[in-house]
Homo-oligomer: A and B are copies of this chain.
């Protein structure tokens, strides 16, 4: 694999503009009734036309058979080795709410959850409580919790999700999750993986104990589950590597966090794709790389809502002409991973990918779908190579070697 150091040596700044449109969880599986995937079911004349003018393939985020989380899926698209650059969920959560992390902070994702009288988890998402209730509960937790010897910061993310940051001497992120990833069983204690994490485990479990007290009559949000304990990784940024001035447009906090992690400027935007596209237009002159993130494809996939995912894809198709009207020199349309409605989860299937520039040889793909892109010139290729392709097509990569 080509190292980022080499890419950095070859990268040059130019005025050309790259747009990376990520439909989260884009890839799907055939509906057993029709034999057609979500993309194959959707009516997508604009995406199909784009595919016909592009080189196409299937982007493999991590490796054949591996179902990536959002972190590895995006980091691969940004050109990072998704194995070497693993970023904990907690850090992604903290970045997503713009929390000013310090070097040795330990962050974790919180899920508000429902437990029964016996302490068994009955809903790992507390009925997906609204964000407003989440904010009230986080404020009550801030008031009601006091863990000696450590600063605890709590912030609402969205829905049932929040983040916690622990700050103090000698904290470790070598802890197991407390989310049992199943219902009908009790939450797990945070358990140290190495001895240096003993004290942190004690602190975390004390926080959870106190939180359960504060939340005891707040059904359905009467408990918290913590996962993804992590410290800040030390990644080279996209401006450093690619000499880009990149911007992230994402309605959903975690993806703003991912952008910030790699040195993107995070542009304030609304919660709909139309608002995201408006943000794109507004800032078009100021950046040479835009990461535009679209969440509903993944949300509907996770919910097993095949028709919802089809509709989400069609929404992107409707707004694509507005995006193309900006005349990006390079546009790549793909996903960070697949989330088939059939599986209601991230999956291992490689993701449709189409890249258009003035310098591609369009392959004979006339449909933007898993099977059609699979016949594209790129075949199944590592997502990690996508940034190099975008940079090359933007004429931002110099020749390698004499």
A247 at the interface (CB under 8 A from B): no
A289 at the interface (CB under 8 A from B): no
Copies of this chain in the oligomer: 2
- A65 and B397 contacting across the interface, CB-CB below 8 Å: yes
| Contacts of A79-117 to chain B: CB distance below 8 A | 82-83, 86-90, 92, 109
Residues of B within 8 A of A400 (CB): 62, 66-69, 72
For residue A193, give the distance in angstroms from its CB to the closest CB of chain B.
12
Q: Which chain B residue shows the least CB distance to A396? A: B65
A2 at the interface (CB under 8 A from B): yes
Q: Which chain B residue shows the least CB distance to A35? A: B362
A361 at the interface (CB under 8 A from B): yes
A380 at the interface (CB under 8 A from B): yes
For residue A293, give the distance in angstroms from its CB to the closest CB of chain B.
16
Per-residue 0/1 for A369-402: is the Cβ within 8 Å of any B Cβ (1 yes, 0 no)?
A: 0110010011111000101111110000111111
Pick out which of these stretches binds chain B: A131-139, A143-151, A262-270, A345-353: A345-353
Per-residue 0/1 for A1-32: is the Cβ within 8 Å of any B Cβ (1 yes, 0 no)?
A: 11000100010000000000000000001100
Q: Which chain B residue shows the least CB distance to A340? A: B359
A189 at the interface (CB under 8 A from B): no
- A67 and B228 contacting across the interface, CB-CB below 8 Å: no
Residues of B within 8 A of A390 (CB): 65
A70 at the interface (CB under 8 A from B): yes
Count how many chain A residues have C-beta atoms less than 8 Å from C-beta atoms of the other chain: 64
Once bound together, how far apart are the Cα atoms of A227 and B364, in whole Å?
42
- A388 and B2 contacting across the interface, CB-CB below 8 Å: no
Residues of B within 8 A of A185 (CB): none
A319 at the interface (CB under 8 A from B): no
For residue A2, give the distance in angstroms from its CB to the closest CB of chain B.
5
A195 at the interface (CB under 8 A from B): no
- A402 and B88 contacting across the interface, CB-CB below 8 Å: yes
A122 at the interface (CB under 8 A from B): no
- A402 and B92 contacting across the interface, CB-CB below 8 Å: yes
- B87 and A402 contacting across the interface, CB-CB below 8 Å: yes
For residue A239, give the distance in angstroms from its CB to the closest CB of chain B.
19
- A401 and B69 contacting across the interface, CB-CB below 8 Å: yes
Task: Name which of A62, A64, A361 has the most chain B CB atoms within 10 A of its CB.
Answer: A361
Once bound together, how far apart are the Cα atoms of A378 and B68, in whole Å?
18
Once bound together, how far apart are the Cα atoms of A260 and B353, in whole Å?
42
- A381 and B86 contacting across the interface, CB-CB below 8 Å: no
Residues of B within 8 A of A371 (CB): 361, 363-364, 377
Check A374/B363 contact, CB under 8 A, given A67-B392, A69-B401, A70-B402: yes
Residues of B within 8 A of A359 (CB): 29, 340, 342-343, 347
Give the 10 A-B residue pairs with the shortest CB-CB distance, closest first. Answer: A65-B388, A89-B402, A69-B401, A64-B385, A65-B392, A72-B401, A348-B392, A374-B377, A65-B389, A2-B63
Write 22 A-B pairs (CB below 8 A) sorted by A numbering: A30-B361, A37-B361, A58-B377, A64-B388, A65-B387, A65-B391, A66-B397, A67-B392, A67-B400, A68-B400, A69-B401, A72-B400, A72-B401, A87-B402, A88-B402, A89-B402, A227-B402, A342-B359, A343-B359, A347-B359, A347-B392, A378-B380
Seed contacts A30-B362, A64-B378, A348-B389; 6 additional CB < 8 Å A-B pairs: A37-B361, A72-B401, A90-B402, A361-B370, A363-B374, A378-B380
Residues of A within 8 A of B (CB): 1-2, 6, 10, 29-30, 37, 58, 62-72, 82-83, 86-90, 92, 109, 227-228, 340, 342-343, 345-349, 359, 361-364, 370-371, 374, 377-381, 385, 387-392, 397-402
